[in-house]
Structure 1
Amino acid sequence: MFVAKLYAYAFVGEFILLYPVYTLLFIDTGLSVAETSSLFVIWSVTGMVLEVPSGAWADAVSRRLLLCLGPLLAGAGYALWILFPSYWAFAVGFVLWGAQGALVSGAYEALAYEELECLGHESRYATVMGRAESAGLVAAAASIGLATPVFAVGGYPAVGVASVLACVLGAAVALTLPEHRTPGAVTEGSYLAVLRAGIAETRRDRGVLHAVLLVSFVTAIWGALEEYVPYLGVETGVAKAAIPLLVLVVWIGATAGGLLAGRAQGMSARAYALTIGGAALAMAAGAVSGHPAGFALIAVAFGAFQLAGVVADARLQERITGPSRATVTSVAGLGTNVVTLAVYMAYGAASSGLPHGVAFAVLVAPYVLIALLAARPPTPAPVQ
């Protein structure tokens, strides 16, 4: 029952009908690519500022509480976009959306791992989280399918209302999640003590630090580039109405990657590195092809990156031994936000002088270095 609730939370959190069309909303409002990139930067900076403090809050107070508050903030942001479509309303909405991401990040993984541990099923974490990621992607795909007819009937207001209702439902699901722990008990309830303990574990244990860095880089680059996939679709010359279908192909690939993550958890460091490197090559080849068929390669790449990200997160959770699990996970989230911000800024700068396909190829190049880092055998976990 607990796992089913995790899947439901992940599904509802991505069943946002605004997702497939909000880029079009920005375009119709008159925003340029650079302005849209600046919104992504605002989103990333908000998450960066709030990530670790919210993780410590989850450890000191309640992870379930943060999982409830997060969707409500995002829903408020989506309502602003529809009611007052303008650059500044979009900016405030991205602040609220960024806050939602920070509240959920760390809290969700920590609650999932420790509740599975209470049930004696912590070894299933990668499988469960991979399926949860896939549930979210299925929801996103379903939102694409529904967004078109709903948008045709009611325009942006209709998809906006549906998105806000999904956020409210997500908050309700969060309230049903169990939390068998005493918040802050190990650190006597002190927020600062929880925060210090999490940061200290990240710095002290080289295995944890290595896992944190791997999670940050593996998930951030392709996650940031996902926002620009519609522009890549426009560059192929297909009709605007067909672009959501190309995005759907990419999400199908990422969904498959999540479903395979559990089986891949035990792969060797070399196989893991080859997975990352191969995904980067597939992404670059598909992007520069300039043809709709290239999206098949991009889908394969997204699937491999999704798999690699889930496996990296599972290995991080296995290495965390202290009481500040959400805080340590949020440190990885902070790293993800830093890298994501760098990608947004780089893409915004590159978009004025490079085709979108070439920009994709250039920005996945760092995965070669990440693969070399991942090929190194991990430091043995400390004996407990």
Structure 2
Amino acid sequence: MLYPLYALLFADAGLSAGQISTLLILWSVAVSVLEVPTGVLADTLPRRALLAVAPLFSAAGFALWTLVPAYPAFAAGFVLWAVGLALASGTLQALVYDELAAAGATGAYARLIGRSRALGTAAIAASTALAAPVMAAGGYPAVGAGSVLAMLGAALAALAFPTARRTPGPEQDGEEAAPAAAGPWWRRHAAVLGAALGEARRSAAVRTGLVAMAVLMGATALDEFLPLLAASLAAGPAAVPLLLVPAAVLAAAGEWAAGRGVRRAAPVLAAAAALLAAGALIGHPVGMVLVGAAFGAFEWASVAAETRVQHAVAGPARATVLSVGGLGAEAVAVLAYAGYGLGSQAAGPGVLFALAAPVFLLIAPLLRTRTGSGRARRDRYWRR
């Protein structure tokens, strides 16, 4: 419940806009630095254990924010939160895919991941709404306590996952045969990282999937600025929350529909880019519906790109490969934030969102269905 309100918490503690910006930069840098190393950990250590530990770091960060509302504690809390996010990034996806592979049901991956993200989007909206009466009753300490309890609940939920059976690769036959299992830890980690980079080097499907995944996940970070776009189209401040509802609902709908119609991913993404530009430039509140539909399609396409990577990975470094995509997404997100910040000096939100549309248009060809006997098994997902 706490993190949607962090800007208010920091401002209430007397932080300036510049100090808040430095905290966000620290957070982004920390996630970027930790993304790949934690992916390597997920390919060498039990993933269920990592998923159980990850929320504890976030809980510690939220507790610091609540108990010591000062800049140093906020900075430390962001680093702890970054550790938790990085530990879970790629780890959950790899665990789910390997369990589905063991059950012969990898075709269900996109549907399961998409629906879990849709429920997560709905949960964030619900927790944000719930935070208002909780804060009115008990202030930030009550909201912070609720956030810490939620993270502890997430840790317990992670223990309910089965122990992932790693997908066998060329040098691996089950979890006990992890790459370079013997030798010092740094050699084992180097072997996993080398296997991940080898996947990208050998497989065009992995490379194009990672690029599409990074751009889609990173560029959709622009949704942080949707309130500014809504404010530019609303008749008054009271109407802004109402204009944001379609974006949230349609984003969740796109995630829920993941796994369907993937054969048409490229034209759908191109159409979504057009909707984004049209909705941003129309200069009317109805434009938020078009923008929301575009973001729903982007979320749907990002699951499709991630699923393509999952189907293409053949070796033992699945979580590390996914973390490389996560690192790329963080880099794209930073560029998106910087571009919006610089562009805002010369243009309004509508123009800036419209200028982002070509990025999605350019990435659409990477989601085209591939053919050819050599790729038939790897790309069977895309012929649905």
TM-score normalized by structure 2?
Answer: 0.85
Counterpart of 1:7 in structure 2 is none
What SS does the corresponding residue of 2:179 show, helix, strand or coil? coil
- SS of residue paired to 1:78: helix
Task: Determine helix, strand or coil for the equivalent of 1:263.
Answer: coil
The correspondence for 2:293, drawn from 300, 306, 320, is: 300
Choose the corresponding residue for 1:253, options 231, 250, 253.
250
The whole-number CA distance in structure 2 between the counterparts of 1:80 and 1:235 is: 36
Contact in 2 for aligned 1:273/1:372 (Cα 8 Å):
yes
Compared CA separation, residues 36 and 237, structure 1 to 2 (3 A):
farther
1:104 CA drift (Å): 0.7
1:11 aligns with none
Quote how far apart the aligned CAs of 1:336 are.
0.9
**Which of 51, 64, 76 is the matching residue for 1:80?**
64
Q: CA deviation at 1:85?
A: 3.6
Going from structure 1 to structure 2, the CA distance change for 1:314 and 1:366 (only over 3 Å counts) comes to same
AA aligned to 1:198 is A
Paired with 2:228 and 2:17, the residues of 1 have a C-alpha distance of: 9
Q: Distance in 2 between matches of 1:51 and 1:336?
A: 10
Query: Bigger radius of gyration, 1 or 2?
Result: 2
1:121 is aligned to 2:105:
yes
Deviation digits for residues 187-244 of structure 1 (CA, Å, limit 9, x no counterpart): 142222122111211222222111111111112101x112222333344456656544
Question: Residue 139 of structure 2 aligns to which amino acid in structure 1?
Answer: G
**1:225 maps to what in 2?**
222
Q: Pick closer, same or farther for the CA change 1:233–1:328 going to 2, 3 Å.
A: same
How far the C-alpha of 1:87 sits from its partner, in A, is 4.5
Task: Give the gaps of 5 or more residues in structure 2.
Answer: 166-173, 182-187, 379-384
Partner of 1:328: 321
| C-alpha contact 1:212 1:332 (8 A) present in aligned 2 | yes
Deviation of 1:66 (Å): 1.6
Q: Distance in 2 between matches of 1:368 and 1:26?
A: 37
Offset at 1:24? 3.4
Counterpart AA for 2:194: R
CA deviations over 1:67-102 (Å, ceiling 9, x no partner): 112211112222233334445443333222222221
2:275 counterpart (266, 279, 282):
282
Q: Structure 1 residue 159 and structure 2 residue 151: aligned? A: no
Amino acid at match of 1:194: V
Provide, for residues 165-208 of structure 1, a one-character-per-residue CA deviation record: whole Å limited to 9, x for no partner: 11111011111111143546231422221221112112222221
Q: 1:363 aligns with which of 356, 367, 370?
A: 356
1:249–1:295 contact (8 Å) kept in structure 2: yes
Partner of 2:260 in structure 1?
Answer: 263
Give the CA deviation at 1:122.
1.0
Partner Cα distance (1:241, 1:153) in 2? 23
Identify the match of residue 213 of structure 2 among 202, 212, 215.
Answer: 215
CA distance in 1, matches of 2:257, 2:337: 29
One-letter code of the match for 1:201? E
Paired AA for residue 249 in structure 1? P
Q: Secondary structure at 2:222's aligned position in 1?
A: helix
Q: CA offsets per residue over residues 117-148 of structure 1, 9 Å max, x none?
A: 11221111111111111111121121133122
State how many pairs are aligned.
Answer: 363
TM superposition score normalised by structure 1: 0.85
| d(CA) in 2 for partners of 1:203, 1:158 | 50
Residue of structure 1 equivalent to 2:37 = 53
Which residue identity does 2:255 align to in structure 1? G
Q: How does 1:24-103 map to 2 (within 5 A)?
A: 24-29=8-13, 36-103=20-87
CA distance in structure 2 between the aligned counterparts of 1:331 and 1:378, rounded to whole angstroms:
26
The aligned residue for residue 338 of structure 2 is 345
How far does residue 22 in structure 1 lie from its aligned partner after superposition? 2.6
Q: Secondary structure at the residue paired with 2:163?
A: coil
Q: 1:305 & 1:55 partners in 2: Cα distance?
A: 24
SS of alignment partner, residue 145 of structure 1? helix
1: CA distance, partners of 2:365 / 2:325: 19
The answer to whether the 8 Å contact 1:216/1:336 transfers is yes
What are the superposed Cα offsets for residues 1-46 of structure 1, whole Å, 9 maximum, x if unpaired?
Answer: xxxxxxxxxxxxxxxx224333333454566666545443322221
Equivalent pairs: percent with the same residue?
A: 43
In 1, the alpha carbon distance for the partners of 2:128 and 2:239 equals: 11
**Given that residues 44 and 178 in structure 2 are in contact (C-alpha distance below 8 angstroms), is that contact kept between their aligned partners in structure 1?**
no
* Contact 1:264–1:311, Cα closer than 8 Å, also in 2: no
* 2:312 aligned with 1:315: no
Matched residue, 1:108: 92
Which moves more between the two structures, 18-27 or 195-204?
18-27
Most deviating of 89-98 and 121-130: 89-98
Q: Which residue of structure 2 aligns with residue 198 of structure 1?
A: 196
**Structure 2 counterpart SS, 1:313:** helix
Give the alignment's Cα RMSD to 1 decimal. Answer: 2.6
* Pairing 1:139–2:123 present: yes
Q: CA separation of 1:150/1:292 partners in 2, compared to 1, >3 Å: closer, same or farther?
A: farther
**3-state SS in 2 of match to 1:262:** coil
Q: Give the Å deviation of 1:340.
A: 1.2
TM-fit CA distance, 1:311: 0.8
Structure with the greater relative contact order (CA < 8 A, sep ≥ 6): 1 or 2?
1
SS at match of 2:315: coil
The answer (yes or no) to whether the contact 1:34–1:348 under 8 Å persists in 2 is no
Q: Say whether residues 1:187 and 2:179 are aligned partners.
A: yes
Q: Distance in 2 between matches of 1:94 and 1:132?
A: 25
Distance 2:375 2:340 in 1: 37
